[in-house]
Amino acid sequence: SESFEADWAMPTYKIIRILVVAFAVVVAYPYIPGSDSLAFKGVTVFVGILLSLGSSSFIANLLAGLSMTYRGAFRVGERIKVGETEGVVEEFKVMITRVRTPKNEIVVIPNSNIMNSDVINYSQLAKTEGLLLYTKVGIGYDTPWRKVETMLIEAAGRTSGIDKEKSPFVLQTSLGDFSVEYQINAYCKEVGNLQRIYSELHANIQDVFNENGVQIMSPAYVADPETPKLVPTESR
């Protein structure tokens, strides 16, 4: 069936196998020698209590792992963000998920934590529609907005890793007391290098604005300086 994904085959097989074994144990229980004795029943109850008290987190992670398989939130190799952890999924098991961060740290996340958190998947639509990268700058009202938008688009065009087939665009997200907040949006398909692409985009924005003599006023504006805060040409 087209609606049944290949990734579901092995987990479904394991679930069915566990159910069959459990059913067989239940059916065979009355036929076990001594099963009707008080001692046997006492041991069974004792083991059941131990399992119920000591395996709550185990069962929670187990059920979460099985549920996530059918949820389809991510796959191995995709870049995701769960809570404060962002990175590439290295391994997905029934109990835990291993994520490698951009700093080459391996973070082991219990699947029950993932089930109770929002999961951001950067890879799922990146290859088809492209992931939108965006960043904001505050520019004074004395600079024409058309010029600002042109400069931001030029900075995005200089950035490697930005999809050249889809045009970047600018949004004016707010009109502040002293400056306009502009947001440059550009499409990207290389989600494995987001930090580098963002860094290069920010560097290109600074270069383009310095070349055009426009002062960036974000993140906060206090007062007009005597001279614009620009990087001298000889220092660029």
The tens place of each residue's pLDDT in the chain, 236 residues long, gives: 455 555 555 556 665 676 677 667 666 666 666 556 655 556 666 566 655 655 556 666 666 666 666 666 788 888 989 888 999 999 888 778 899 998 999 999 888 888 878 888 888 888 888 899 999 999 988 899 999 999 999 999 999 989 988 999 999 999 988 889 999 999 998 888 889 999 999 999 999 999 999 988 865 655 666 666 565 666 55
**How far, in Å, CA of 203 to CA of 191, rounded?**
19
Among 16, 1, 48, 12, residue whose Cα is nearest residue 29? 48
Per the CB < 8 A criterion, the answer to whether 199 and 179 are in contact is no
Among 182, 168, 171, residue whose Cα is nearest residue 140? 182
Among 104, 119, 71, 115, residue whose Cα is nearest residue 192? 104
Query: What are the residues whose beta carbons fall under 8 Å from the beta carbon of 120, sequence distance 6 or more?
Result: 80, 81, 82, 86
- Coil, strand or helix at 9: helix
Query: What are the residues whose beta carbons fall under 8 Å from the beta carbon of 89, sequence distance 6 or more?
Result: 74, 75, 76, 77, 78, 79, 80, 97, 98, 99
